[in-house]
Amino acid sequence: MSSTLESRPEQPVEDDTLLIPARMLNEWTYCPRLGVLEWVHGEWNDNVYTVDGTWKHRRVDQPGADLAPPGQNLEMRTRSLWLSSEAEGLTARLDLVEMEGDEVVVVDTKRGALPLVDERAWEPERVQLCAQGLVLKDHGYECERGYLFYVESHRRVEVLFDEALIARTRELTASFREAARSGELPAPLDDSPKCVGCSLVEICLPDEVNLLKYGGERVAQRQLLVPVNDSQPLYVTTQGSKISRQKGEFIIKFESDVLAKARVMETSQINIYGYSSMTSPALCEAMSQGIPVNFFSSGGWFSGCALGHPHKNIVVRVEQFEIASDPERSLAIAKSIVFSKLRNQRTLLRRNLEEPPLFLLAELRRLAMAAKVVETMPSLLGLEGAAAKLYFQNFGTCFRTDFGFDFKTRNRRPSRDPVNTMLNFGYGMLTRECFNALWSAGMDPYLGFYHQPRYGRPALALDLMEEFRPLIVDSVVLMAVNNKELTERDFSVRASGCTFSANGKQAFIKGFERRLSQEITHPIFDYKMSWRRVIEVQARLLSRHLLGELPSYTPIETR
Angle, CA 541 vertex, CA 216 and CA 388 arms, to 5°: 100
Amino acid (one-letter) located at 484:
K
Q: Tell me the longest C-alpha to C-alpha distance in the chain.
A: 92
**How high is the pLDDT of residue 306?**
84
- d(CA 131, CA 124) in angstroms, rounded, equals 11
Given the candidates 3.40.50.2300, 1.10.3470.10, 2.60.40.10, 1.20.120.920, the CATH classification of the domain at 314-546 is 1.20.120.920
**Element housing 511 (H / E):** helix 502-517
Instruction: Report the topology of domain 20-186.
Output: Lambda Exonuclease; Chain A (3.90.320)
How long, in residues, is the chain? 559
Indicate the pLDDT class of residue 380, thresholds 50, 70 and 90. very high
Residue 340 has pLDDT above 70, yes or no: yes
At residue 40, the pLDDT reads 86
Q: Is the pLDDT of residue 436 over 50?
A: yes
Check residue 63 and report its DSSP letter. -
pLDDT at residue 201, rounded to an integer: 85
Q: Where in the chain is the domain with CATH 3.90.320.10?
A: 20-186
Would you say domain 232-306 falls under CATH 3.10.105.10? Answer: no
Position 232 pLDDT exceeds 60: yes
Contact (Cβ atoms closer than 8 angstroms) between residue 121 and residue 115:
yes
Instruction: Tell me what pLDDT residue 225 has.
Output: 52
Q: Can you give the pLDDT at residue 102?
A: 78
Please answer whether residues 293 and 286 qualify as being in contact, where contact means their C-beta atoms are separated by less than 8 angstroms: yes
Amino acid at 120: R
Q: What is the pLDDT of residues 476-520, one digit of tens each?
A: 999 998 888 988 888 888 877 888 888 898 999 999 999 999 998
Residue predicted with more confidence, 475 or 269? 475
Residue 119 has pLDDT above 70, yes or no: no
List residues bridging with 235 in a β-sheet: 271
Nearest to 200 by CA among 182, 226, 179: 226
Q: Where in the chain is the domain with CATH 1.20.120.920?
A: 314-546
pLDDT at 337 over 90: yes
Mean pLDDT over 218-242 rounds to 70
Asked if pLDDT for residue 16 goes beyond 60, the answer is no
Q: Where in the chain is the domain with CATH 3.100.10.20?
A: 232-306
Backbone φ and ψ of 242, nearest 5°: -135, 130
Residue 367 near residue 386 (C-beta atoms within 8 A): yes
Beta bridge partners of 157: 148
What is the pTM for the complete model shown?
A: 0.80
CA distance linking residue 16 with residue 62, whole number of Å:
30
